[in-house]
Amino acid sequence: MNPAVVDIRGLAYAYPDGHQALYGVNLNIHQGERVALLGPNGAGKTTLILHLNGILTAGAGTVAISGLPVTRPNLTEIRRRVGVVFQDPDDQLFMPTVHDDVAFGPANLGVRGEELENRVRDALAVVGMEAHAQRPPHHLSFGQRRRVAVATVLAMRPEILVLDEPTSNLDPFSRRELADIITGLDVTVLIVTHDLPYALQLCERAVILSDGTIAADGPTRDILADAELMGTHRLELPYGFDPTYGR
C-alpha cells in the first residue's frame, strides 16, 4: 500500500451555533487513490473536506497531509498540497481573464516569469482550455468554467485534488470530458458526489459519511450493491442502474 497522504484521526467539529457536524472521524487516503465520499445531505461531507486545507480547523482530533499537520503555521504549504474545486466554479473565478485566474494561485506563492507561464499553459492544456486563455471567464459555458476551476487548482501542482460535486449542472458531454480529465491526472483524488454511477466509474474505493461518522469504507462496487446499507443511509441508485453489471 502506498503511503497515506491524508491521515485523519478522531476528527470532531461543531459549528459556532452548536451544530455538531463530525464525530471522531478516522480516515486514511493513500497516494494515487481515487476515493468517492458519499452520503446524504447534512452528513458532514463538506465540513470534512474543508479540514483538508485548513479552511476549517479541528475542534478535536488531527488532520495531516503527507505527514504535515494541518495547523495555522503550515497553511501555506498545506494549501499548495491540497487543491479544492468547489461545486460552483464562480466561487473560484474572479479575475478578468482565464489566464489571470489560473495564474492567481501560483503567483501568490511567489512563482514568477517563465515558470508561472508554464504552469498556466500546462494546467489549461490538461483541461483542454488553452485556446480560451484570454477570454473572460463569465463568457464561458458552465462546463468550461468548471474545467477552468480545475485548472486553477492544477496550476498549484497539488498532491491531492478534492472535487465537491463535480458533475453538478453538467450536461452528459461535459460530464464525460471531466471524467477523462480526472482519470488522466497523476494525483490522489477525493470526489464528493451524489452521482453514484460517476463514483463507480472513477473511484475504486468509496466512503459513506452519515450523521458525522464513517458508516462504510470499501470497494465502490460492493458498497453500491449493498441495498440495505444504501437504504439505511438514504443513498439511492438511478432507476435501472446495476452496480454489479460487468463484474
Asked whether residue 112 carries a pLDDT value surpassing 90, the answer given is: yes
Q: What is the pLDDT of residue 240?
A: 82
How many Å from the N-terminal Cα to the C-terminal Cα in the chain?
24
CA distances to 95, 130, 173, 219 from 144, rounded to whole Å, are 15, 11, 11, 31
Across 191-218, average pLDDT? 95
Mean pLDDT of the residues in the chain: 93
CATH number of the domain that 218 lies in?
A: 3.40.50.300
Q: Which domain holds residue 226?
A: 4-232
Domain-located, residue 246: no
Percent of the chain with pLDDT over 70: 98
Count of domains for the chain: 1
Asked whether residue 2 carries a pLDDT value surpassing 90, the answer given is: no
Q: What is the pLDDT of residue 57?
A: 86
Q: What is the pLDDT of residue 246?
A: 61
pTM score of the predicted model: 0.93
Helix (H), strand (E) at residue 163: strand 160-164
Rounded Cα distance, 96 and 135, in Å = 8
Percent of the chain with pLDDT over 90: 89
Strand order in the sheet with 34-38: 82-85, 160-164, 188-192, 34-38, 205-210, 213-219
Q: Give every CB contact of residue 106 below 8 A, 6+ residues apart in sequence.
A: 116, 119, 120, 155, 156, 157
Q: Are 114 and 132 in contact (CB under 8 A)?
A: no
Q: What is the pLDDT of residue 245?
A: 74
Residue 30 burial by CB count (10 A; 0-12/13-18/19+): exposed, middle or buried? middle
Domain-located, residue 242: no
Q: Are 157 and 119 in contact (CB under 8 A)?
A: yes
Rounded Cα distance, 56 and 38, in Å = 20
Domain-located, residue 82: yes
Domain-located, residue 243: no
Domain-located, residue 135: yes
Domain-located, residue 122: yes
Q: Are 24 and 61 in contact (CB under 8 A)?
A: yes
Q: What is the pLDDT of residue 139?
A: 94
Each residue's pLDDT tens digit, 17-36 = 989 999 999 999 999 999 99
Q: Are 134 and 120 in contact (CB under 8 A)?
A: no
Domain-located, residue 244: no
**Residue 121, amino acid:** R
